[in-house]
Chains A and B, each alone.
Chain A
């Protein structure tokens, strides 16, 4: 049981480039989340999904997009990367009966 996996672990982007952060969970969880964590700060919600085909914005969605075509996968797309998007990105999921979230190992993104 792999839990929540994220790829890549690290990435350096140039300003204006685009990329997709991958997130997959094998726990059949309906709820999935993308967070970013800046140094010394708490996690901020970017987007979330309550099931395949359903997504919604969180606190800080600008500059990002998501899709949820399957229960397992919840990719995060960055278009036109900016230095302000330098952060650590965590994907998380939980089931319907309990709200304890399981996190992936994170993606460290630097935009220069």
Chain B
């Protein structure tokens, strides 16, 4: 089983739609959780850190469910510029300086 798993998509949605991605992780001792955005042929850029209580940044909301070992990302009012691949990243508790990346979920926002 992979340490971090994501639905690869693609998710094809119209502008203005709400879309949600889930990511599951295997190690219950995981400590830190992140969503990164990666544009085609570019480096990953931090979108959000995911806190235990959930957090929101404008149109983006991240949630953590430790019992079920998944994190989610909700994007409201999708924009064309949201089209990208979204990477789920987990920092495993037993080795705090190793990060495990999901393969990414591709989002295409259409006009």
Contacts and interface: CB of A to CB of B under 8 A. Distances in A.
B42 interface: yes
A20 to B, nearest CB: 19
A90 B44 contact: yes
Interface in A54-112: 58, 90, 98-106
A45 B98 CA distance: 8
A91 B34 CA distance: 17
A2 interface: no
Interface in B2-56: 4, 8, 32, 34, 42-46, 49
Contact count band on B: 20 to 34
B34 A50 contact: no
Contact of B97 (A50, A104, A106): A50
Of B4, B49, B99, chain A has the most CB atoms within 10 Å of the CB of B99
Interface string A34-60: 010000111111001010000000100
B97 A48 contact: yes
Interface string A11-49: 000000000000000000001010100001111110010
Contacts of A105: 42-43
Given A99-B32, A99-B91, A100-B34, A42 B101 contact: yes
B61 interface: no
Of B45, B87, B97, chain A has the most CB atoms within 10 Å of the CB of B97
A48 B91 CA distance: 14
A42 B4 contact: yes
A5 to B, nearest CB: 11
A45 B3 CA distance: 13
Interface of B: 4, 8, 32, 34, 42-46, 49, 87, 89, 91, 96-104
10 contacts: A33-B99, A35-B101, A41-B103, A42-B87, A42-B100, A42-B101, A90-B44, A101-B89, A104-B43, A105-B43
Interface of A: 31, 33, 35, 40-45, 48, 50, 58, 90, 98-106
